[in-house]
Structure 1
């Protein structure tokens, strides 16, 4: 790769400009990906992370979880159904809470379930609720001044509840989720775990996967589709920009490639050097873009729905690297087609 490194060092400005453009595109992709992931979690984090394989809802709800309402007998029906290993009730309602002895309130989504069951998430701070007058809440409520041990009341319920702990990314419909003991004779859904096969309940209920439930949440699909379209266009732009840049640079070096071929340098050697340049520039720019994006994230306010995780960053980085290399491959055909005699004569 001696030739590739010498050229990169000799024409630094040219490749710095290419790298800068790729850096900006990569940053945009990472930022929009983080925003898409954050909005997805903010809208349905509790459903995405739910320890369930499927959800059983009312057939008349048209796959809308919030429109579903079933009698408690649906829980026993689910537990007795074929292929079901575990089942837990879930009732969802939008409400607001007030901190006792203060005017401090917040809008929340109330998830009523069995507090000893499978739907209660892991605790980030504090402990899981053990009594019917205890609740587990999303950690974002800490920004509003709520703490472990605080007593709260609901707008439609005079009973007092004690916050025992906070959970991470427990959100629904862009509001924090509060988990409390089920107290109604109706349920919105029954969350089930299966042995790998779909639960045999379709004759009486709709049995939906979590992805189907997510698609039924108002605005969820629209939000994600818009952001995903932006990301796809940015990948396409990255491919075209790099294809044009490397094509122009390759055409400018046509005479040089002709001389090198005349001196006995093989075409495969020239291609390997060109590929090395493409990959090196892409890797460096992606790495810098990741670092800058984490810096941007650190400057964002805490309530910004922006989430970056290792798996997501690795996947986007790999895809961006593949797209960058594929977009640059068109210039390789120019190297293959270079005729030493024509290139030298054309350069005279």
Structure 2
């Protein structure tokens, strides 16, 4: 044990280079993991936060929430078949502006019943029941200077909405969410199209049923619905693939480093074998040395990545996910150990007589 650390201290420049490599690689992996989580929140955070396990959409929507339409008759049929109440909601992407202002703020309206379970905790103000054409805004709108009691105008319908409160920041398709009642959404749609007929886009279910057999309707899990959000699957696959490539490349580079170090130390290994140390004991020392370097590098890389993410402005979509960081760190350490052990296989081939005599192993 003492010999392992003595060697690290003696050749500290060489091992510092390896350690810096591990730190940088881990930093990039954790940062990409945080970026993937942040983009996921921006894309489908409101669906993740919903206390629902399943959703009913129209079959022709192909899992796309914005393309779904469910009539009141279909809603009643679903409730009769499942013998439970459903939670209707709709989404509408639009833009709004403070009254008497030309500023344009992107928004996704989530239309729900005033007392719906889908409405999150209200941080300030009151609920949707308090005011006609009221709107609950995500907390991120406070950064735009909006306050409870302000009047904003929907840019599509020109309907004026009164800010009745704020809820925790949520996003859908990279736009902040605002909660309105179904009646308010109907007023918006009617202002744009007098022939509009009231409908909802989806029915949320707090518990997932076995199946829904109503014609022209389909049942989706939360994961399926999120996976169908435009761009979500592609962006997550891309970032995750980059992270995996980084892990593999890091392991390969570490393996090359330790392979070269093992070649440089073959005479030392030959002497160790000659004085009675087994190949297993020598490999154990190398393993311990590599594991220590990998573990310290992973911890430092995590720390730097988390520090960087905490200092970034709120507009940068990053999210600290402890579970993902642990999985990425464990994968990195595991692949580093595997590469170290592979580089140590040559120790088994060392002939101490040839090495001491000046020959090749």
TM-score normalised by length of structure 2: 0.88
Structure 2 gap ranges (5+) = 187-197
User: Which stretch of the first structure deviates more once superposed, 106-115 or 159-168?
Assistant: 159-168
Q: What is the rounded CA distance, in whole Å, between the counterparts of 1:199 and 1:305 in structure 2?
A: 36
Q: What is the rounded CA distance, in whole Å, between the counterparts of 1:2 and 1:85 in structure 2?
A: 68
Q: Structure 1 pair 80/6, CA: closer, same or farther in 2 (3 Å)?
A: farther
Q: What is the rounded CA distance, in whole Å, between the counterparts of 1:18 and 1:255 in structure 2?
A: 22
- CA-CA distance at 1:101 after TM superposition: 4.3
Q: String of CA shifts for 1:212-242, please: whole Å, max 9, x gaps.
A: 2222222212211221221111011011001
Pairs within 5 Å for 1:192-271:
192-194=205-207, 197-201=209-213, 203-271=215-283
Q: Secondary structure at the match of 1:244?
A: helix
Identify, as 1 or 2, the structure richer in strand: 1
Task: Establish whether residue 181 from structure 1 lines up as the match of residue 194 from structure 2.
Answer: no
Contact in 1 for aligned 2:126/2:164 (Cα 8 Å): no
Q: What is the rounded CA distance, in whole Å, between the counterparts of 1:128 and 1:141 in structure 2?
A: 17
- CA-CA distance at 1:157 after TM superposition: 5.0
Residue 4 of structure 1 corresponds to 4
Contact in 2 for aligned 1:81/1:199 (Cα 8 Å): no
Q: Secondary structure at the match of 2:159?
A: strand
Structure 1 gap ranges (5+) = none
Q: What is the rounded CA distance, in whole Å, between the counterparts of 1:221 and 1:129 in structure 2?
A: 33
Q: String of CA shifts for 1:99-149, please: whole Å, max 9, x gaps.
A: 234444311001111232221223455565443543322222222222344
- Aligned residue pairs total 345
Q: What is the rounded CA distance, in whole Å, between the counterparts of 2:296 and 2:54 in structure 1?
A: 43
Q: What is the rounded CA distance, in whole Å, between the counterparts of 1:19 and 1:136 in structure 2?
A: 50
- CA-CA distance at 1:162 after TM superposition: 2.0
Residue 341 of structure 1 corresponds to 353
Residue 194 of structure 2 corresponds to none
Residue 70 of structure 2 corresponds to 70
Q: Structure 1 pair 151/229, CA: closer, same or farther in 2 (3 Å)?
A: same
Q: Secondary structure at the match of 2:242?
A: helix
Q: Secondary structure at the match of 1:240?
A: helix
